[in-house]
Chain A
């Protein structure tokens, strides 16, 4: 389905995750961050978002553990940056897929 985010019409799934990463830009990330209750994105947020996007590009499955060992942040800070479901929220802001199970 389509959703207008930061003045642009974007393809998203039912939960609001971007379907097409090419449509992602920083203004979209900022808007989603506000909707998710994260507020303004700091350099620390951007470091995580960029790292997640790189992993996605290399088709690496995203986990909290990988983030903790990434050197970009630790798990405690990750929670502080994206409270209440950090991986779920950070991937949405990064314009990539939410980590899922098999069903």
Chain B
């Protein structure tokens, strides 16, 4: 018997187990390890604070999605020894592997910034990247009387990089609906050079900030959260005051990656951008948020990667060359508030542009443009996630490699 071990049963690990159970030869045993009983629909953490989704809509038991025939272990991973081809679990149990897939994702690390997890944490300083953060923020918002709301990105990369901007848009709608928009000042604070940084998106979307009356502070690299004076302080001593801080803390790979000596300075695993093989160990592959590839950290990306990685695992065990099949393809809905949404489709080299998707010239979805239909797409994504993505059922018309058809590409 040969052993394939998957670390993590989140979006990517679950997709890989569903692919591989059907494709791996019978003499392979698949083991999946995850510490958590609950599978969270993380995109729902954006909606929970505004009472758009309920708690039950964003969580289901993990086991339900891991297929039969897989050896599923519910435990914490301590570390990997790539030299011994062994995974050490916290209980002391060891798992040996012939092939390892790392799918341990990315987590928030608020401890990286002085004061972020201080006396205000989950009192007037919230994250919405965890279930607890998102739920606590919902409870806080239900009775909040208004003031300065600051929506903040600590540093890049973060998973779902548009989520904080969507949060600001949804906050605008939420307070309008509650009849208290004039009591809330919304400021968006980013370490990047603007809310939008790519040329086409900047041109087409900057109106959104004016329309929704969202202030923007750019090039802001936070050094400290001053809980007492309720201010974000940057390295060059700029200060942004808040009454309510909604921050996206530093995102990092799990600490088990650090203990294994497999990660970079943010515990992301150096990975071949196109084959998804680890750069250091031939029999280790990496997928989803755990990699250091310069693609967006998103569920849709994990879905596209899963198809390529499945092919490459099969190539690897048959001593065939790996295919450089992953092009950085991401396909993300962006909620813009007031029941409208946008869709972006892009890869490593092609920036998001306008056009139609998935059927060129027809749509029905519109790229880089607000529409009600796109909003329906975002809402349908939850169903698609639980019923198609996790089960690795292909999405009609949407291929792992990005298509240029239906896109208005400018040539210089």
A interface, CB within 8 angstroms of B: 13-14, 59, 61, 63-66, 69, 75-76, 78-79, 83-85, 88, 98-103
Contact = CB atoms under 8 A, between A and B. Distances in A.
B349 to A, nearest CB: 12
17 contacts: A13-B199, A61-B156, A64-B155, A64-B221, A65-B250, A84-B219, A88-B193, A99-B156, A99-B192, A100-B197, A101-B156, A101-B190, A101-B196, A102-B296, A102-B330, A102-B344, A102-B352
Contacts of B236: 79, 83-84
A93 to B, nearest CB: 15
B136 to A, nearest CB: 27
Contacts of B337: none
B198 interface: yes
B330 to A, nearest CB: 7
Contacts of A88: 193, 219
Interface string B125-156: 00000000000000000000000000000011
B191 A100 contact: no
A76 B219 CA distance: 14
A85 B193 contact: yes
A65 B158 CA distance: 13
B344 A63 contact: no
Contact of B294 (A13, A59, A64, A79): A59
Instruction: Determine which residue in B191, B198, B344 has the highest number of CB atoms from chain A within 10 A of its CB, and name it.
Output: B191
Q: Please classify the interface of chain B as helix (H, G, I), strand (E, B), loop, or mixed, using the class held by over half of its residues.
A: loop
Contacts of B201: 103
B374 to A, nearest CB: 14
B222 to A, nearest CB: 10
Nearest to A78: B235
B294 A85 contact: no
Instruction: Determine which residue in A14, A83, A88, A103 has the highest number of CB atoms from chain B within 10 A of its CB, and name it.
Output: A103
Contacts of A102: 161-162, 198, 296, 330, 332, 344, 346, 352
B294 A61 contact: yes
Given A63-B156, A64-B221, A65-B250, 12 more contacts: A59-B294, A61-B294, A63-B155, A64-B235, A65-B265, A69-B265, A75-B221, A88-B193, A101-B196, A102-B161, A102-B198, A102-B352
A103 B58 CA distance: 26
Contact of B265 (A66, A75, A76, A78): A66
Nearest to B368: A103
B73 interface: no
Given A98-B197, A102-B330, A61 B157 contact: yes
Interface in B40-85: none
Given A61-B157, A85-B219, A103 B193 contact: no
B198 A100 contact: yes
Contact of A103 (B156, B196, B221): B196
Interface string B181-197: 00000000011110011
B323 interface: no
A59 B349 CA distance: 13
B21 interface: no
A75 B344 contact: no
A45 to B, nearest CB: 17
A65 to B, nearest CB: 6
A67 B162 CA distance: 24
B268 to A, nearest CB: 10
B205 interface: yes
A103 B192 CA distance: 11
B352 A101 contact: no
B209 interface: no
B235 A79 contact: yes
A16 to B, nearest CB: 12
Given A69-B265, A79-B236, A101 B197 contact: yes
B256 interface: no
Contacts of B332: 102
B266 interface: yes
A61 B328 CA distance: 14
Contacts of B330: 102
Nearest to B192: A101
